[in-house]
Structure 1
Amino acid sequence: MSTQLSNAIQRVPVPELLSANPVVAVLRAAHASEYAPVIEALVAGGVNNIELTLSTRGVFELLAEICEQFDGRAQIGVGTVTTAPEARQAIASGARFIVTPVTDPEIVDACVQAGIPVFPGGLTPTELHRGWAAGASAVKVFPASQVGAGYLKDLRGPFPQIQVIPSGGVGVAEAIEWIKAGAVAVSVGGPLVGDAFKGGDLSALTERARTLQLAVRAARDEAVSAGN
């Protein structure tokens, strides 16, 4: 994946698959061996951008296998990355994007040099601008529940070009509002995944995924028409 130069900053664009289907499913489980059936259910519902968090045991051990299993059907990324070596290891194992809960320019640089999209996390304008100026593909507003979708308009005042993905406490209603406000995508965890890792009905997860991605796509079309 090539980089592009923007205002003298190297920046890997947001992946086309995420632009077309702006939902990232954030998965946390007791062990990465539990991931595959849940990913299958999400993909069946049209959610094919999947973030596997490093707070789950076994992610690095199984990442290459999972990436191969869903190659061509889902875009597998790794989240909760807090160091540049973790980012490099995830990329070497097949991760298609990297997500962090912090703003660390070394992580951003490692991803840019590898040609992999990166979404560093932050909450304050200083943190978010720091990630964007370092070359982030988009910045992750985290925890998004603390500010709400109106925060994006405030950020766009001083930073009109910044691309934002909210994460943390984002449900269906909040996802729609963020997309309408101009977010490039939304990250959704518990409200989408529900009890899937606790023996819940995977067909119900597929329906939640289908409902969410259709609602978000409709909101995106509305945002584009409104010029957001």
Structure 2
Amino acid sequence: MPLPPPVIPPQQTRSWLLDAEIIIQLHAWEGWDALIEIADALACAPSLTAVVVFDHPQALDGVRELIERTDGRMLVGMSHVETAEDVLAAAEAGAGFVLASQLRPQAWKQARDLDLLYIPGVFSRAEVALAREAGLTTQFLFPADILGPDHLRELRQAHPEVHFLPGVDFEIASLPAYRAAGAAAMVVELAVLSDPNWRQADVITYVRELLKAWRSPLTPGLSSSPSPDGFGR
């Protein structure tokens, strides 16, 4: 039996993502209690766009849990979606979009058949051009932190029609440089969860700091190149 179309059509989903500013990436292995607390914290922050990494058997249930916990107000996608079977499973779980590590034709075809927004991972100019030739103008720049905002700027200059979503490991202070370089929004891991004693208030504060940094102007003279340790200065 064919799946019903997603609640939000791809065009509207794309618009939502481009307005999201910060897209929070989560892992289902955090556990159910943690996901519920995180969902409540994101709703409070507020940050109502998230993506669950497809790296755990409970990832699909994690998507359902986030959607249910927020009464459908959160747009939830899945990342690391690499095969046609992965796309189908993500759609069945209610994912509103999928991120891949790279363009995979069969997965892209399945997403298109399901009317599900497919966002391929890119890094090089060649990968950007290949995805663009396939008609995919929203692309996941990953791992963006290796070459920093300057690399993003070069890609944007070569392909100004492409909307880039850089991901996923960033210092908060680097976000203005990515925005100035042309990022449409950022896909960001919740670094605060690395502390085993994290609290819900920590998540709220961290997300608000991300949003504040994203909206801040780039300080004149601040380098947008990665520092020797790989993080933006």
User: Does TM, scored on the shorter chain, surpass 0.5?
Assistant: yes
Q: Which amino acid aligns with 1:75?
A: L
Deviates more, 1:156-165 or 1:131-140: 131-140
Partner residue of 2:123? Answer: 123
Could you list the per-position Cα deviations for residues 93-118 of structure 1 after superposition, in whole angstroms to 9, with x for gaps in the alignment? 21011111222132223223322222
Map 1:68-217 → 2, pairs under 5 A? 68-191=68-191, 193-195=192-194, 198-217=196-215
TM-score, normalised to structure 1, is 0.81
Could you list the per-position Cα deviations for residues 163-196 of structure 1 after superposition, in whole angstroms to 9, with x for gaps in the alignment? 11111322322222111211111011043x4336
- Look at both structures and tell me which one has the larger radius of gyration over its CA atoms: 2
Q: Structure 1: how far apart are the matches of 2:189 and 2:61?
A: 22
Partner residue of 2:54? Answer: 54
Give the length in aligned residue pairs: 210
Q: Structure 1: how far apart are the matches of 2:137 and 2:87?
A: 15
Partner residue of 1:8? Answer: none
Map 1:27-38 → 2, pairs under 5 A? 27-30=26-29, 32-33=31-32, 34-38=34-38
SS in 1 for 2:148: coil
TM-score, normalised to structure 2, is 0.79
Structure 2 CA distance for partners of 1:160 and 1:66, relative to 1, 3 Å: closer
Q: In 1, are the aligned partners of 2:122 and 2:140 still within 8 Å (CA)? A: yes
Q: Structure 1: how far apart are the matches of 2:179 and 2:137?
A: 17
RMSD (CA atoms)? 2.4
Partner residue of 2:4? Answer: none
Tell me the percent identity: 21
Deviating beyond 4 angstroms after TM superposition, the runs of 4 or more aligned structure 1 residues are none
Q: Structure 1: how far apart are the matches of 2:37 and 2:150?
A: 36
Q: Which amino acid aligns with 2:14?
A: P
Unaligned regions of 5+ residues in structure 2, if any? Answer: 1-7, 219-233
Partner residue of 1:226? Answer: none
Unaligned regions of 5+ residues in structure 1, if any? Answer: 4-11, 221-228
Q: Which amino acid aligns with 1:170?
A: F
